[in-house]
Chain A
Amino acid sequence: MGIFKKLPGLTIAEFDSTGSLLHAAEKMAEAGYEKYDCHSPFPIHGMDKAMRLKRSPMGYIIGTMGTIGMTGMIALTYWTNTYGYPMVISGKPAFSWQAFIPVIFAISILLSAFGAFFGMLALNKLPQLFNPIFGSDNFAKVTNDGFFVSVEANDPKYDEGNVKSFLESIGGKNVEVVKGE
């Protein structure tokens, strides 16, 4: 229990090209499925639109992290040089901001990078080493040259028979049901 919720089973279907996967995605969105995904070995141009996905909130995460880095470093250089440990070095004023630009810049970048990396992992719920979908042997092709649509069993519209026939009707092959945990 807790964060270790049981993962639902899925129905997966294979498609033969990027074009047909994109087409299938449009149909899935049209039919009102919610918990489905389109798997491919590489990102496909236009897929977000076809699946009617909301914009990724990554920009906000990264922006926030970068801002924290910048303000934090400005505060640190200001405080250490004015109050914490003020020293006159090369005759410059206590808060000689020009000289602090490099460190402020570096830390802003560093925290933005952390935002991008950890934000991506968090949004994608990774690492998640196990997923029922790996139970399908055919699905291993997705990292090679396979294109798949998967529908999770907890989708409000999920019904094994209907999903199967729907996937076949939009061009899916090798339709397969994978059991959940």
Chain B
Amino acid sequence: MSSNNKDLTDLKFQDELLFAGNPTFGSVTEDVSKVVETKPGQLWYVLFGISVSLTLMLFSMIGYLFWEGTGIWGLNNPVGWGWAIVNFVFWVGIGHAGTLISAVLFLLRQRWRTSINRFAEAMTIFAVICALLFPTIHVGRVWLLYWVLPLPNQMEMWPNFRSPLLWDTFAVGTYFTCSLLFWYVGLIPDLATLRDRAKDKWGKLLYGIFSLGWRGGNRQWQHYELAYLVLAGISTPLVLSVHSIVSTDFATSLVPGWHTTIFPPYFVAGAIFSGFAMVMTLALIARKVYNLEHIFTPKVLERMSWVMLLTGSMVGYAYSMEFFIAWYSGNEYERFAFINRAFGPYAWAYWIMITCNVISPQLFWFKKFRTSIPILFIISIVVNIGMWFERFVIVMTLSRDYLPSSWDYYSPTIYDIGIFIGSFGLLFTLFLLFLRFLPMVAMAEVKGVLPEADPHHGGSH
């Protein structure tokens, strides 16, 4: 019995577990904690300096925006939603890969997720922070933002629960909270590891406080595992619902090119697509900076490229359905909206989108491209660009409405561009701080899938 079991585990292990070398519990702890415990190299400081400068630029521009109003952006009459909504959808979408990796792959018992889930979840949280920034600063009188919440007030007014924009508040707010809790629950045992290894006072104090006094007893693990499972379980419908709800910002309207029934699944597929691309970009950078080749192994990267190929093709499918049905509807406004996208003033953006999102991932059909690190890096960036343009193309449908005399072209101002670039600064600042102070790989989970973790391993039982 035991020998039989061992064969099976070993076979599965070789096939599924994707860590190179022969890691032990101790070596996993050592490898991951070392990153946090040693002073980072020069590269980290350089990157951090750049990110912090960009973040400062972001906040000073936001300060000016509050002073001056949204007029500093390139908003014009038909295009009342400019880059702010494009960036919002872009960042929320990026976040989805984190939840998908951490929750859905957990439920599907995909072991390869353990090497990237912490990392991806961190990215989710930071991306959602960036996303929440944009609607917040776009409301105009930002100090009245709390009006979106159903709070009793002396005006006896209540928010409009029929409005997709209000749904966003609830959906993205919930999404952020759940992701944060899920991430933190996963972090607790690993923070305890850092606590037990900490040498200096501050490390002992802070890791001690945030690990909550974790003792790793099975009476704790019992509830912990269930909480983790449930958080994964409820994050899964969240992945579907959040971007579906974001898509209703457009799809519940009567605007040709926006109101189309495929939007919810199409947005979800696009979100996963862009999110995986961003995880790939960040993983490849972290791999280089911290020499983590044995954790982000080529096999993990290859599987991620499969997901990108799949979701990229789904997005391509959705583009063609939109186009075909617009023609099939026989409605001249529908038809015009799409002809305008492909051949109108924003044709350049449309074809960038098609090239980056539909054509470039098709390279992943070939093993040569899936296993080449430079190609993976380039495509991951290309896809990120393409997915930003997808949202841009959708929003710029506004530029040509029913009345040709009001048609206008959206020209971004320096503040549009600055705030968008600044949001990358914010993401990278948070991310670099995460890499510096928190374990970037879920140690406890990685240990849990090592072959020695199986109590029947090696016939010792």
Contacts and interface: CB of A to CB of B under 8 A. Distances in A.
Interface of A: 17-23, 25, 37-48, 51, 53, 56, 58-59, 62, 76-77, 80-81, 84-85, 87, 89-90, 92, 96, 99-100, 102-103, 105-107, 109-110, 112-114, 116-117, 119-121, 123-124, 126-131, 133, 140-145, 150
A46 to B, nearest CB: 6
B227 A117 contact: yes
B224 A23 contact: no
Contact of B25 (A22, A41, A106): A41
A109 B178 contact: yes
Interface string B421-461: 00000000000000000000001110110001111111011
A83 to B, nearest CB: 10
Contacts of B221: 40, 42-44, 47
Interface core residue of B24, B162, B225 (most chain A CB under 10 Å): B162
B452 A18 contact: yes
Contacts of A109: 174, 178, 234, 237-238, 241
A62 B445 CA distance: 23
B213 interface: yes
A39 B218 contact: yes
B170 interface: yes
Given A37-B219, A102-B167, A117-B184, 9 more contacts: A22-B455, A47-B221, A51-B218, A110-B173, A112-B230, A121-B212, A127-B209, A143-B189, A150-B217
Nearest to B450: A42
Contact of A42 (B150, B167, B445): B445
Interface in B133-172: 150, 156-164, 166-167, 170-171
A143 B439 CA distance: 13
B161 A77 contact: yes
A131 B323 CA distance: 64
Interface stretch (B11-19, B190-198, B372-380): B190-198
B208 interface: yes
Contact of A123 (B223, B444, B457): B223
A142 B216 contact: yes
Contacts of A81: 158, 161
Given A37-B218, A85-B157, A131 B150 contact: no
Contact of A19 (B192, B220, B458): B458
B354 interface: no
A150 to B, nearest CB: 7
A47 B174 contact: no
Contact of A128 (B26, B213, B455, B461): B213
B77 interface: no
15 contacts: A19-B457, A19-B460, A23-B461, A37-B218, A37-B219, A41-B29, A77-B161, A99-B161, A103-B166, A110-B177, A116-B231, A117-B184, A131-B213, A131-B215, A142-B196
Contacts of B460: 17, 19-20
A48 to B, nearest CB: 6
B245 interface: yes
Interface of B: 24-26, 29, 150, 156-164, 166-167, 170-171, 173-174, 177-178, 181-182, 184-185, 189, 192-193, 195-197, 208-209, 212-227, 230-231, 234, 237-238, 241, 245, 248, 443-445, 447-448, 452-458, 460-461
Contacts of A80: 150, 158-159, 161
Contact of B455 (A19, A51, A58): A19
A32 B95 CA distance: 49
Contact of A127 (B157, B185, B213, B448): B213
B267 to A, nearest CB: 14
B118 to A, nearest CB: 14
A117 B185 contact: yes
Contacts of A114: 181
B167 A120 contact: no
Given A47-B221, A85-B156, A120-B223, A42 B461 contact: no
B39 to A, nearest CB: 22
Given A18-B454, A89-B160, A99-B161, A48 B222 contact: yes
Contacts, number: 218
Nearest to A76: B150
Given A19-B460, A25-B218, A133-B215, A102 B170 contact: yes
Interface core residue of B150, B182, B213 (most chain A CB under 10 Å): B213
**Can you list the 7 inter-chain pairs with the closest CB atoms, starting with the nearest?**
A145-B25, A37-B217, A120-B227, A127-B212, A19-B460, A42-B448, A80-B158
B250 to A, nearest CB: 15
Nearest to B184: A117
A103 B173 CA distance: 11
Contacts of A143: 29, 189, 192-193, 195-196, 214, 216
A100 B150 CA distance: 13
Nearest to B461: A19
Interface core residue of B214, B230, B231, B237 (most chain A CB under 10 Å): B230
Contacts of B213: 126-131
Contacts of B157: 85
Nearest to B223: A123
Contacts of B461: 19, 22-23
Contacts of A117: 181, 184-185, 227, 231
Nearest to B443: A41
Given A37-B218, A121-B212, A106 B196 contact: no
Contacts of A48: 218, 222
Contacts of A103: 161, 166-167, 170
A105 B167 CA distance: 10
A38 B219 CA distance: 8
Interface core residue of B25, B181, B185 (most chain A CB under 10 Å): B25
Nearest to A22: B455
